[in-house]
Structure 1
Amino acid sequence: MTTLPIAITCGDPAGVGPELIEKWLKSNPTLAKDVVIIGPVSWLEKLALPDKQKCGVGEPSYQIRPGIPDLQGSSIALAAMEMAAKGTEENRFRAVVTGP
């Protein structure tokens, strides 16, 4: 039996969530193999993870401005949580961790 991955949402793309996730991935390479990261397409492209561990939301052209929250970033954070919840209901994820 294969264990389902844990979904990790980005939180506000302009906040500390993406930075914390990046640091966690680097410091926990073994555990990182068991997650799917959900966040902005432009940010996910920079992560050194296989595509099957990335789930993009929002417009690919969205540019994150760290420390400057905006409406599009809020929409991405909400879409990421909705995708994680739906994936959990559909038994694609075993749990969800939300970024701040």
Structure 2
Amino acid sequence: MALTGKQVRQLRSLAHHLNPVIIVGKGDVNDGTVEQANEALEAHELVKCSVLDTSSLETREAANELAERCQAEVVQVIGRKFSLYRLSQRKDIEHIKLV
């Protein structure tokens, strides 16, 4: 699902106030990180992630790899942080209404 420019701007503004819930560290993007990201995306649809200095991946590389493995979209990459979005299949949460 490709996001339009307007949708990306909307998601970036929503992600600005979030704290990182996924941390990519020395183990880079491993199965545990992917599982944790999938759970967070199902629960919230939009998550902010952080890449530690101990990771061998650059922030953009980590964002692209995690997004690919989670079937998510990279919303934004700034410094050592990035945001991911994926529409949740859960019915019991409030979904983000994209413009």
Same fold by TM-score greater than 0.5 = no
Structure scoring higher RCO (CA < 8 A, sep ≥ 6) equals 1
Q: TM-score, normalization: structure 1?
A: 0.36
Q: TM-score, normalization: structure 2?
A: 0.37
